[in-house]
Amino acid sequence: MVCQLLVVAGPDQGRSFPLVEGQTLVIGRGQTTETRLKDPQVSRTHCQVTVDGGKVILTDSGSTAGTLVNGKQATKVELRPGDVIQVGGTQFRLQLEGSHEASTLVTPPPQPKAPVEKAERLTELVGKTLSHYQVGDVVARGQSGVIFKAEDTKTGQTVALKVLWPEFSKNEDEMQRFIRAMKTVLPLRHENLITLYGAGRTSPHYCWMAMEYVDGESVTQVIQRIGIAGMLDWRNALRVAIHIGRALDYAHSNNIIHRNITPTNIMIRSSDKLTKLGDLMFAKALEGTMAQQVTRPGELVGDIFYMSPERTRGGADVDARSDIYSLGATVYALLTGRPPHEGNSLPEIITRIRSVDPVKPKKYQLSIPDLFEGTVLQMLSKRPEERFQSARDLVVQLERVAKFQGMTI
């Protein structure tokens, strides 16, 4: 039996690793492993897969987050074709080499990433015109849809065109919520916010947003590099914190709470390192659909790592201080290469977010100034009243840190 492990979800999606009789494949993000995964949630040496006498044996290597096989915790288990292995936010599927028939494979357990077939449907838009946008290459895939590089045929301007999964446009109540939210965001302009140019629904079922195209990388991509090459210089993390703090100060002054700040919706422009926050009001616009996904039992949702304790309890009673927590969690991940809290299951992660103090960032990066570390930890306080009470207060403190370190931002 000639097998391979195919990455079906995660930063390395599409890669495959052959499994050879009598040899062991070490899975992890470390330089000494064969896979060198880009997923920061994966341990440096996470698990290993050995082929012995035709049997494929997976053994966890004492990883921090553990290894799941078909959604169940596994220490040592024999794998069969179709089995789905999850390490951190990455999924592998064991399949016979050369097999392409979906019918021969076991369907993996539900995951937050959108199914590949849905992405393939949307990528059929490449080269076509949607509304007055000429659709170009795929820039990113996410939980809510696909982002394309596109050109406004009226102005010639390059934009980032986010097209939502068709399911989002089927519920008229949710569509009206989406339209109201986008109308709120359209007039807003700030150098640290990704500008929304327009939004709409195009027959038959395409719901879209046209946004400022940022030539750079997301904070998620930065963290993935941290997982391979080491930690980010704290000065760069401080710059991100100040820029996004300013964006939040502006948004909050317009009575808008972001609700879902994560590394995915923060972009760093390559030319000048200006940092911009995207998806303003997006969580609110889609909260009916998204809430169902977030609360689905046993499902790990990537965004959960950056949720404030109060937001994990559900309901709409969150304010500006929830955004401050989520920004703190994102900055923490930039400083350390991992979110403040990890776990093997959704309930475990939520419990840790609500009741366990994060490890101090200095454990991972000794050069972080005490004042900056203290600021980040205050942002991550469990009780909202113990955090900074406004984004303006936060920015003042962060700029104070920069001044003490001789930085101009």
List pLDDT tens digits, range 269-311.
999 999 999 988 777 666 654 444 433 333 334 578 899 999 9
Mean pLDDT, range 360-389, rounded to an integer: 96
Task: Read off the pTM.
Answer: 0.70
Tell me the one-letter amino acid at 21.
Answer: E
Number of domains in the chain: 3
Mark whether 375 and 361 lie in a shared domain: yes
The answer to whether 281 and 180 are in contact (CB under 8 A) is no
Mean pLDDT of the chain: 84
Of 197, 175, 319, the residue nearest 256 (C-alpha): 319
Task: Region of 314 please: left (phi>0), alpha (psi -120 to 50) or beta.
Answer: left
User: Are residues 361 and 233 both part of a single domain?
Assistant: yes
- Same domain for 277 and 200, yes or no, is no
CATH of the domain at 200: 3.30.200.20
What is the C-alpha radius of gyration for the chain, rounded to an integer number of angstroms? Answer: 22
Q: pLDDT tens, 183-226?
A: 888 999 999 999 999 998 887 678 899 999 999 999 988 887 77
Same domain, 332 and 225: yes
Residues 197 and 256 placed together within one structural domain of the fold: no
Distance separating alpha carbons of residues 278 and 97, to the nearest angstrom? 40
Query: Position 12: which residue type?
Result: D
From 339, 328, 401, 327, select the one nearest 364 (Cα to Cα).
339
* CATH number of the domain within which 46 lies: 2.60.200.20
- Which residues pair with residue 84 across a beta bridge? 93
Q: What is the DSSP letter of 338?
A: S
| Domain containing residue 232 | 216-405
Same domain, 170 and 193: yes
Asked whether residue 274 falls in the same domain as residue 389, the answer is: yes
pLDDT, tens digit, for every residue of 355-373?
999 999 999 889 999 999 9
Instruction: Phi first, then psi: give them for residue 172, nearest 5 degrees.
Output: -65, -35
* CATH code for the domain in which residue 387 is found: 1.10.510.10
Dihedral through CA 69, CA 71, CA 75, CA 80, nearest 10?
-20
On the question of pLDDT at 229 being above 70, the answer is no
